[in-house]
Amino acid sequence: MVKEQVAALLRSALQRCVQDGLLPPGEYPVQLDSPKQAAHGDFAANAAMAFAKQHAAATGAPKPNPRALAQAIVDRIEDREGLLAARPEIAGPGFLNIRLAQDVWHKALRAVWEQRERFGRSDAGHGLRTMVEFVSANPTGPMHVGHGRGAVIGDVVANLLERAGYQVFREFYINDAGGQVWRLAHAVLARATELRPGVPRVPLDPEDYQGEYVKDVARAWLDAGGDPSRPFPEIRESLRGFATNWILKNLIEEDLRLFGIRFDSFFSEKLLHDQDRLSAAIRMLDEKGMTAMEVLPPPKGVDIDEEEYVPQPLKVVKTTRFGDDRDRPLLKTSGEPTYFAADVAYHFDKLSRGYRRLIDVWGADHGGYVSRMKAVVAAMGGELEVILFQLVNLVKDGQPYRMSKRAANFVTLRELLETAGPDATRVFFLLRRGDMALDFDVCLAQKRDNSNPVFYVQYGHARCAAILRRAREEKGVEPRWDPDAMGALQLPEEIDLIKRVLQFPELVAHAASALEPHKVVFYLQETIAQFHGYYTKYKKTERVISGDERKTTARLYLVWAVKQTLANALAVLGVSAPERMDAPAAEED
RNA sequence: GCGCCCAUAGCUCAGCUGGAUAGAGCGCCAGCCUUCUAAGCUGGAUGCCGCAGGUUCGAAUCCUGCUGGGCGCGCCA
Q: pLDDT tens digits for A86-139?
A: 999 999 899 999 999 999 999 999 999 999 999 999 999 999 999 999 999 999
Residue A34 burial (CB < 10 Å; 0-12/13-18/19+)? middle
Question: What's the CA gap between A9 and A1, in Å, rounded?
Answer: 13
Mean pLDDT of the A370-393 span: 93
Domain assignment present for residue A195? The answer is yes
- Contact (Cβ atoms closer than 8 angstroms) between residue A239 and residue A185: yes
Residue with CA nearest to B20's C1' atom: A92
**Where are the strands (E) in A397-500, listed by range?**
399-400, 438-441
Give the residue ranges of DSSP H helices in A248-393: 253-259, 269-274, 277-287, 339-352, 370-379
Inside any domain, residue A517: yes
Query: What is the CATH number for A39?
Result: 3.30.1360.70
Q: For residue A194, report the phi and psi dihedrals to the nearest 5 degrees.
A: -65, -35
Give yes or no: residues A462 and A568 share one domain. yes
Evaluate whether residue A364 is within a structural domain: no
Helix %, strand %, coil % for chain A, to 5? 50, 10, 35
pLDDT at position A308 is 62
Q: Are residues A457 and A549 both part of a single domain?
A: yes
Q: Within a domain: residue A192?
A: yes
Per the structure, the complete domain to which residue A470 belongs is given by 453-573
Q: Which residue's C-alpha is at the least distance from the C1' of B72? A: A368
For the CA of A461 and the C1' of B68, the distance in angstroms is 43
Q: How far apart are CA A331 and CA A345, in angstroms?
A: 13
Question: A198 and A89 share a domain?
Answer: no
Whether the pLDDT of residue A382 is over 50: the answer is yes
With a cut of 50, say whether residue A570 has pLDDT above it. yes
Which nucleotide's C1' is closest to A461 (Cα)?
B37
Residue length, chain A? 589
Q: Which among A194, A219, A244 is the end of a domain?
A: A244
Beta bridge partners of A438: A392
Q: Is the same domain home to A188 and A93?
A: no
Domain co-membership, A83 together with A189:
no
**Segments in A109-212 forming alpha helices (H):** 110-115, 145-163, 179-195
Q: How many domains does chain A have?
A: 3
- Nucleotide whose C1' lies closest to the alpha carbon of residue A66: B57
Q: Is residue A162 part of a domain?
A: no
Q: Evaluate whether A48 touches A67 at the Cβ level (below 8 Å).
A: yes
- State how beta strands A265-268 and A167-174 pair: parallel
Given A227, A244, A261, which residue is the final one in a domain? A244
Distance CA A399 to C1' B59 in A: 38
- Please give the nucleotide, over all strands, whose C1' is closest to the CA of residue A304: B74
CATH of the domain at A502: 1.10.730.10
Confidence check: pLDDT of A353 > 50? yes
Residue A337 counted as domain residue: no
- Does residue A264 lie within any of the structural domains? no
> What is the band of A402 on the pLDDT scale with cuts at 50, 70, 90?
low
In whole angstroms, B15 C1' to A523 CA is 12
Amino acid A54 CA to nucleotide B54 C1' distance, rounded Å: 21
The separation, in Å, between residue A513 CA and nucleotide B56 C1' comes to 28
Residue A216 lies in a domain: yes
Protein-covered nucleotides on strand B (Cβ within 7 A): 1-6, 12-21, 23-27, 32, 35-42, 56-58, 69-77
Distance measured from the CA of protein residue A525 to the C1' of nucleotide B15, in angstroms: 15
Residue nearest to nucleotide B38 (CA to C1'): A583
Q: Are residues A185 and A93 in the same domain?
A: no
pLDDT digits (tens, 9 = 90+) for A168-178: 999 999 999 98
Mean pLDDT, rounded, for A333-359: 95
- pLDDT over 70 (residue A409): no
Average pLDDT over residues A308-321: 87
For residues A469 and A563, state if they share a domain: yes
Same structural domain, A92 and A197: no
**Residues whose CB falls within 8 Å of the CB of residue A155, separated by 6 or more in sequence, listed in order:** A134, A170, A261, A574
Q: Are residues A459 and A558 in the same domain?
A: yes
Taking the C1' atom of every nucleotide in all shown strands and the CA of A434, the nearest one is B5
Instruction: Record the pTM.
Output: 0.94
